[in-house]
Amino acid sequence: MTKTRKSKRVALPAGRNSYNIREVAQAAKVSVATVSRTLQMPDVVAPATRSRVQAAIERLGYRPNAQARMLRTARTHVIVALVPDISNPFFAEVIRGIEQVAHQNGYSVLLGETQNSRAREKAYAELLETKQADGLITLMPHIPTLAMARPFPIVNACEYVKDKSVTSVYVDNEGASYEATTYLLTLGHREIAFVTGPMDSPISVDRDRGYERALQQAGIKRDRRLTAAGDFSVEAGIRAVDGLLAQQQRFTAVFCSNDEMAVGAIHAIKSKGLRVPQDISVVGFDDIRFSRYTDPPLTTIAQPKDELGREAMSMLIELMRGTDIPARKRILLTQLVVRGSTARCPGKVRAA
């Protein structure tokens, strides 16, 4: 008869009364979230993983605090959606998609504007820690530090983070930027100005890469004097084009990293007595609602804004339900929408 070997408990370090859940996770070589699910909803955890966690619990003699467990399992049916700038109409359309799926599933959405303040981010993340919210959707290029330090349900939307443990949904920004620049090249434009977004954002970096790749493929060496820094605001588009024209830079088209800057670019071009698109063509990125009503209507890259929001909320609901699924990165399709702000290259343009 084979004797069953009982696992011996691991002795506690001096001065310690018990092991914590992170130490159990380390011993079982799983995430803290997996240990939590094993304790609360064992049926959703794979049998092999569940056995490994339970063995670690027994070996360490871990005993979860009953009151803390009760607090952890409480549900508020509230989620937090963080945006850097609530005045940006792009975010409004994504939030609509989030709200639709949230409402259909019995959740309320608490909208938080961070204004790029880490203190504000921390304050909203603390709502999860104090169990005033069940999950977080962030429309920023990073995750609040406090939220990353805990096993909270988190989804990153529109922007993206490189951390493979974070579930994200976004578009192929480099590919879309490449398509927009290539379209201008097919119209005969060779001197194409580019207005970037903030370069600490991965999507801005990717849109810059797409612009440069399209030029390279067409055999055109990039002229850095035709690149102007922006921050996704209308005012940034005005400043960028004013600066390019004031410096006597020659260009027949300008591609802006978002629609708001493209609106500013059109304003700046027309304020100098030039015409869009007869003198300078303009392309944007996002296809916000107002882009079809500019004068002329804006050619742009359309992001599936409603779908981005709906997919982000659907992913978050899966995580909040404790489903034992790995983090995912989903990429949605974009579309070039051609309107009246672009035309064939008319020749060289220089500021008066």
pLDDT digits (tens, 9 = 90+) for 4-29: 445 555 555 555 556 788 888 898 99
Residue 272 lies in a domain: yes
pLDDT tens string 217-232: 999 999 999 999 999 9
57 with 88, same domain? no
- Is residue 188 domain-shared with residue 206, that is, in the same domain? yes
- The answer to whether position 236 is within a domain reads yes
Asked if the structure places residue 82 within a domain, the reply is: yes
Residues 180 and 291 placed together within one structural domain of the fold = yes
Least confident of 74-78, 127-131, 283-287: 74-78
Question: The tokens 């008319």 sit on which residue?
Answer: 346
- For residue 157, pLDDT beyond 90: yes
Q: How far is CA 332 from CA 44, 152, 154, 159, 325, in A?
A: 28, 25, 19, 12, 20
pLDDT over 70 at 122, yes or no: yes
Q: Residue 205 contacts by C-beta under 8 Å, 6 or more apart in sequence?
A: 199
- Residue 14 resides in a domain: no
Q: Is 264 inside a domain boundary?
A: yes
Last residue of a domain, one of 266, 285, 304: 304
Share of the chain above pLDDT 70, in %: 87
Residue 52 belongs to what domain range? 21-71
- How many folded domains does the chain comprise? 3
Which pLDDT score, from 0 to 100, does residue 2 have? Answer: 45
Task: Tell me how far apart the alpha carbons of residues 333 and 331 are, in angstroms, rounded to a whole number.
Answer: 7
Q: Do residues 252 and 194 both lie within one domain?
A: yes
User: Is residue 5 in some structural domain?
Assistant: no
Q: What is the mean pLDDT of the chain?
A: 88
pLDDT for position 15: 53
User: CATH number of the domain that 277 lies in?
Assistant: 3.40.50.2300
Whether the per-residue pLDDT at 184 is higher than 80: the answer is: yes
CATH of the domain at 61: 1.10.260.40
Q: Do 116 and 129 fall within a single domain? A: yes
Asked whether residue 266 falls in the same domain as residue 247, the answer is yes
Answer yes or no: do 166 and 313 share one domain: yes
Residue 351 confidence (pLDDT) above 80: no
**241-246: average pLDDT:** 96
Q: Which residue has the tokens 């690149």?
A: 227
pLDDT of residue 278: 97
Residue 340 maps to a domain: no
The yes-or-no verdict on residue 352 having pLDDT over 60 is no
Render pLDDT for 319-330 as a digit per residue (tens, 0 to 9): 998 766 788 899
The per-residue pLDDT for 256 is: 98
Same domain, 188 and 178: yes
One domain, residues 203 and 264: yes
Lowest mean per-residue pLDDT among 33-37, 54-58, 210-214, 288-292? 33-37
Domain shared by 186 and 266, yes or no: yes
Are residue 206 and residue 116 in the same domain, yes or no? no
How many Å apart are CA 169 and CA 314, to the nearest integer? 11
pLDDT (mean) for 255-281? 98
pTM of the full structure: 0.76
pLDDT band of residue 311 (cuts 50, 70, 90) is: very high
| Domain identity same for 223 and 239 | yes
Residue 342, domain member (yes or no): no
